[in-house]
Amino acid sequence: MTYEKKDLKDVLSVRNVLQKAEKAKDKKATIGSDIDMDEFTKEDKEEHENVDSIQDVPKKVKETLLKVGVDTSENERAGSFLQMDQSNIYSNSISDSIELMNLETALNKYNWLDQYLWNVVSPDADKYTAQTALREHEEGTRSGYFIRSLPGTKEVFPMQACMFIGDETVMQTAHNIIIAEENSELHVITGCATGEDVSSALHVGVSEFYLKPGAKITFTMVHNWAEQVEVRPRTGIKIDDDATFINNYILTSPVKTIQSYPTAYCSGKNSKAIFQSIQSGQKDSIIDVGSRVYLNGKGSAAEVISRAVSNDESKIYSRGHLAGTVPGVKGHLECHGLVLSDDSMIYAVPELEASAANLEMSHEAAVGKIDEEEIYYLTSRGLTEEEATSMIVRGFLSMDITGLPPELANETKRMIDMSLEGM
């Protein structure tokens, strides 16, 4: 992207982003383990060739994608997007009511799209956002996807998007823009995974959501990373009048570290945000995942629910923050955890912040171990202790996912069950 192609206002906006990013390029995140980003390789965006069909990816890749809910047959999907390392190799929208394309193509198509870039996620939030912004400028292009549901449309089938890392020590960055226009409904399934031969890599995904009045977005994310992968998603959501955002997050495989704290701004009246997460800590994973909602609109509401299980030597930090800034808002935090190993830990951090009168906010946090009576009951009926423990853990993590159409609810349950296989 060159300055010559833009008017003066756009030039100043680009320069402002770059100035902020340059100042923050070494800025550590306020929470989570720090990462030396110089240890990873910035692969060229042309490294992998485009494919005409998502079915053209190798068989091993297909099998990995299926584990994170990405169906390469595209059955019951409204469209698909696939980014391999830094290359946007496939995008296809089947639905007439939803636009899907890589972000660079969308920016060339729509002059107005610039106003949505770095709006609810700041380029100077930390060095991960800063490096993403600087890389966009240095390489002259953007990786990531653009999804937009047209006004008044309600597509039942979900869009699916995948961020796949196939090469060793790659730093994968992506900038995604998702817009639900007025009175539209959009469902997205996104899966993130690594190839079998990858042991170490870094993923940074910046995602910005915009929900116009009366819109609804459900966003279900499944992570299946290699054991030595570092993961740093950065997400912001702006929710307008009578709009609803539902986020489902599933992580049941080992990862080196992950730190994610999506922030939703319920700016419109009667706006609503729901975050539901399932985290299973395996081996020596360090998982720092939470959600934050600012209730700024009259009648806005939020619910943050998490289920966490720590095993082996894993550490889980389960965070939640609700901030009520105007009267009449409602919010609830709920964190339940099971500690299965003496060498693991769960640290629940529920926060409620009220800066107005006449609002309702509550939280519930409980961390414990499996009830021995439950183990005894199941073993007395023929199960081994290991089988009994697995059954209890699977039942604990398989919480009901609310707010989805029946077809998508069933698909999400299938994805959860698949993620829990072998536990």
DSSP annotation of 340 reads -
CB 188 within 8 A of CB 157: no
Dist. CA 162–CA 164, nearest whole Å? 6
This prediction's pTM: 0.91
DSSP annotation of 154 reads B
**Residue 283 falls in which region: left (phi positive, over 0), alpha (psi -120 to 50) or beta:** left
Give the pLDDT confidence of 257-288 residue by residue, as tens digits: 999 999 999 999 999 999 999 898 999 999 99
CB 266 within 8 A of CB 238: no
**Token pair in block for residue 87:** 């290359």
Give the pLDDT confidence of 179-210 residue by residue, as tens digits: 999 999 999 999 999 998 898 999 999 999 99
Average pLDDT over every residue of 360-389: 84
**Token pair in block for residue 174:** 């992506």
CA 119 to chain centre: 18
DSSP annotation of 32 reads S
pLDDT score for 342: 93
Give the pLDDT confidence of 218-242 residue by residue, as tens digits: 999 989 899 999 999 999 999 999 9
Give the pLDDT confidence of 153-184 residue by residue, as tens digits: 999 899 999 999 999 999 999 999 999 999 99
- Write out the H or E segment, with its range, that includes residue 413: helix 406-420
**Token pair in block for residue 413:** 């349950």
Q: Is residue 283 exposed (0-12), middle (13-18) or buried (19+ Cβ within 10 Å)?
A: middle
How many CB atoms lie under 10 A from the CB of residue 385?
Answer: 11
User: Which residues are within 8 A (CB) of 403 and not within 5 positions of it... i.e. 6 or more apart?
Assistant: 218, 244, 246, 274
How far the first Cα of the chain sits from its last, in Å, is 47
**Token pair in block for residue 55:** 């079915």
How many CB atoms lie under 10 A from the CB of residue 12?
Answer: 12
Give the pLDDT confidence of 46-85 residue by residue, as tens digits: 889 999 999 999 888 988 888 888 888 888 899 999 999 9
